[in-house]
Amino acid sequence: MRKLTSLVLTLTVGALFLILQMLIIHKFIERSKSEVLKDQREALQTPVQYKAVHIFMAVVSKLAVPVVLVEPSILKAIMQKRLGHLKEHNDCEFVCIKRNKTTFAVLQHMLVHQQEELISSLKLHGFAVFKTEGGDPLTAHQLMTSKLVPYHYLLVYQDHLIHLALLYERSDLYLWKGPLELPSGSKLYQINFQIGTFATPYSAAIKKFEVAEVKIDGISLKVPKRPNKFLRSLQNSKFLECDYQQAMDFYSVHGKDDSSVALDFKSRAIDVISHGQRILDELGVSFWLSSGTCLGWFRECSIIPHSKDVDFGIWAVDYKPNIISAFEMNGWMLKHILGKVEDSFELSFIHKNGLKLDLFFFYEEVDHVWNGGTDVYTAIKYKYSFPKFHLCWTEFQLMLVRVPCETESYIEANYGKHWRKKLEEWDWKSSPPNVKENGRWFEEEYQDAIQVF
């Protein structure tokens, strides 16, 4: 009897245990199904831009490719917050901003050995890959080079575009971005060409910038440390390469002056440009190469050895009263102050190496811009008119400087249609085709408008 009771008890306990196991398994299965459905619902609800960025960053992180997020729409959204507060930010607030493109940048030399592996891995993860390329910016001065290098990768995931721009280091000062030209017949409608982004049909120069590592929307990213400053720099980043073929054509006709006198002048002129640039940069005053200095860059990719001085252009509205004291504190001698800030203003300084730097201040009218000149002996004012222009970056004598983007019309206004020829005679009051008399200073104005030291 005891054996029977023990058997029944054992069977009962076993049955209960089996039922309990089945209940647990059933609940686990139901829970798993629920979680799968939840994951599927969340996947369907997750914006494609987030999925594209998440997958892209997973791939580049695995390959240790140091890409930097440079998408303006996201940077504008985060620049109101301190980056330190974003390091553990997990809500989809920034990456999920509605858009059809996300732009990243990477230094070309950091990617050169991993390009093939990166592309093949992205394709495996569902990306369609397009590459644009062009001439090597590091050998632009070598006229016979035909080497092609990648400029941009356009990575399409579903209907979202990851734009990866390659940046080339040009000197220690700046990074160079190539123009973006869409592949013929492509349907990359996500690309909107606009100023202030990396999607521009022209090359650009971006001053080197620091990056910060942050966690945004659960994704670890690198972003410019000062987003606002970075975005401002993109607004006026267009880059012009000097026309080396044009320079060679000029030298083939007129010869190249490599005399000791010419080389000495060029060396001193470079010092003047570099030192003057440093002072004006510290003051936050933008300038561009003007007059003969601009002609030398545009026509010869160099400094005209017989030009005798260096010329900068500055917008009159950018004038700051401490310009004079800043130059004097840096060892320059003030040579003259001509005109008034509101009319025909110009400053001239002598560098410690004996070379003169002229600062010409420009004024904007409805349909043109102009700068003035003053004859200190007659008090006659002169006006030099130019078509309106924008400013571009260029590399000149290993310096990153500004020049008028519409350089040829600027040069032609000042030097006429025969600017390609070497000028033997030049009179600042009568030779320029864009000059005309513009009145005369009254005698009571002499003390302020004509100051020669």
Residue 40 within any structural domain of the chain: no
Asked which of 171, 204, 235 is the last residue of a domain, the reply is 235
Is residue 38 assigned to a domain? no
Query: Could you tell me if residue 42 is inside a domain?
Result: no
Q: Do 215 and 267 belong to one domain?
A: no
Name the phi and psi angles at 296, rounded to 5: -60, -45
- The number of helices, as runs of H, and strands, as runs of E, in the chain is 12, 20
Are 303 and 400 within one domain? yes
The answer for residues whose C-beta is within 8 angstroms of residue 135's C-beta and 6 or more apart is 145, 146, 147, 148, 149
Burial of 286 (0-12, 13-18, 19+ CB in 10 A): middle
* DSSP for 265-303, written as a single string: HHHHHHHHHHHHHHHHHHHT---EE-HHHHHHHHHHSS-
44: confidence class by pLDDT, cuts 50, 70, 90: very low
| C-alpha span between 270 and 285 (Å, rounded) | 19
Boundary of a domain, candidates 235, 270, 287? 235
**Pair (264, 190) in one structural domain:** no
Confidence of residue 1 (pLDDT cuts 50, 70, 90): low
Question: How large a percentage of the chain has pLDDT more than 70?
Answer: 86
pLDDT tens digits, 123-172: 999 999 999 999 998 888 887 777 899 999 999 999 899 999 999 999 88
- Given 207, 235, 263, the domain boundary residue is 235
CATH of the domain at 322: 3.30.460
Say yes or no: 444 and 390 in one domain. Answer: yes
Please report whether residue 398 resides in a domain.
yes
How many domains does the chain fold into?
Answer: 2
Which residues, 6+ apart, have CB-to-CB distance to 365 below 8 Å? none
Residues 195 and 272 in one domain: no
Considering the domain architecture, whether residues 156 and 108 belong to the same structural domain is answered as yes
Confidence label for 19 from pLDDT (cuts 50, 70 and 90): low
Do 169 and 312 share a domain, yes or no?
no
Query: Do residue 184 and residue 326 come from a single domain?
Result: no
Residues 249 and 384 in one domain: yes
Residue 76 belongs to a domain = yes
- The pLDDT value given to residue 223: 95
Residues 69 and 133 in one domain: yes
CA distance 384 to 434: 5
Q: What pLDDT shows up at residue 295?
A: 97
Query: Domain for residue 4, yes or no?
Result: no
Please state, in angstroms and rounded to a whole number, the distance separating the CA atoms of residues 199 and 170: 20
Q: 177 is in which domain, residue-wise?
A: 48-235
- pTM for the model stands at 0.85
The answer on 251 and 215 residing in a single domain is: no
Of 29-33, 178-182, 436-440, the poorest mean pLDDT is in 29-33
pLDDT in tens, 373-418: 999 999 999 999 999 999 999 999 999 999 999 999 999 999 999 9
What distance separates the 2 farthest-apart alpha carbons in the chain? Answer: 139
CB-based burial, 360-383: b 16+ in 10 Å, e otherwise: bbbbeeeeebbbbbbbeeebebbb
Same domain, 107 and 223: yes
Please check whether residue 10 lies inside any domain of the structure: no
